A and B are shown apart, each in its own frame.
Chain A
Amino acid sequence: MKKGPAILVLGILASLAAFAAVYYLGTLHCRDMMRGAKPELVWLKHEFKLNDAEFTRITQLHEAYLPRCRERCKHIAEQDEKLQQLLAHSASITPEIQTLLAERAKTRADCEAEMLKHFLEVSRTMPLEQGKRYLAWVQQQSSLHSGGMEQSHGMDDEHHL
């Protein structure tokens, strides 16, 4: 092979090898996180710089919260289904529908209170600054930060800035 084309090919191969090596090393940590049983908790540990003791405590809180959350989800699904059935057979708001709507609102309020309680408990387990950051982030990401009608009507705080 002539020298010129050989250098050309060598350059391309070197570039590809450099790309692959840096990409592999750069995503190594990410792939390790994904391989775990609870990648979202491993991510939490990494993101909020938790030590092993804090991570263990938060994992315990998380595990304790999930069964209660599952129960509430089931209750919400039942109420939603019941409402759908009532709405399918009625052209106006009956007292039964009104009662169910109030119950659903109560369920949502209870859920949000439980969720907030959990978030506060988790944030207290973290170092002070990280706890504050966690609380601000999780409130922004969860349904506690409303993204409903008030946003579409332009009543969100951001729209007033």
Chain B
Amino acid sequence: MKPNQDPENDAHLRTLLRSWVVDTPLPPGFKDSVWRRIERADLQPESPFWAGLMNLIDVSLPRPKVAFAYLTVLLAVGLTAGAWAAQIKTSHAETSLGLRYVQSLDPYHSAAVHP
């Protein structure tokens, strides 16, 4: 078996690489475009949080188990929040109707009303 060689010390490889000539022309404006991308990347470095989040969305979320857990949790959150909001609304409406009933009968109640 041929032992692994360090490419830095491989004289044959170095000679070969020096003799390699790229004859395919670069697309027009290639260098400018590369520099622009480098400048943009320097100006707006992606934060680790966003990088992690994007990675989570692109890589982890499509996994069936993760997707199922995510959908289940969001569905449960929606159901719970809906029930909670409905309970608050109903309780508020019932209190206000009770007050309205008393106000319709009591002339000395604050803001007494007569329908």
Contacts and interface: CB of A to CB of B under 8 A. Distances in A.
Residue from B67, B102, B106, B109 having most chain A Cβ neighbours under 10 A: B106
Interface stretch (B33-41, B42-50, B88-96): B88-96
A62 B106 CA distance: 12
Interface stretch (B3-11, B13-21, B22-30, B73-81): B73-81
Interface string A1-29: 01111011011101111111111011101
B59 A4 contact: yes
Main secondary structure of the interface of A (DSSP, over half): helix
Given A4-B62, A115-B106, A23 B114 contact: no
A34 interface: yes
B74 A14 contact: yes
Nearest to A29: B90
B78 A39 contact: no
A16 B77 CA distance: 9
A15 B97 contact: no
Contacts of A7: 61-62, 67, 70-71
Nearest to A12: B74
B82 A39 contact: no
Interface of A: 2-5, 7-8, 10-12, 14-23, 25-27, 29-30, 33-34, 38-44, 47, 62, 65-66, 69-70, 72-73, 76, 108, 111-112, 115, 118-119, 137-138, 141-143
Given A15-B74, A23-B85, A66-B115, 12 more contacts: A5-B58, A7-B62, A14-B75, A19-B79, A22-B83, A26-B86, A26-B90, A65-B105, A69-B114, A111-B108, A138-B102, A142-B102
7 contacts: A4-B57, A12-B74, A27-B90, A30-B94, A40-B104, A73-B114, A108-B108
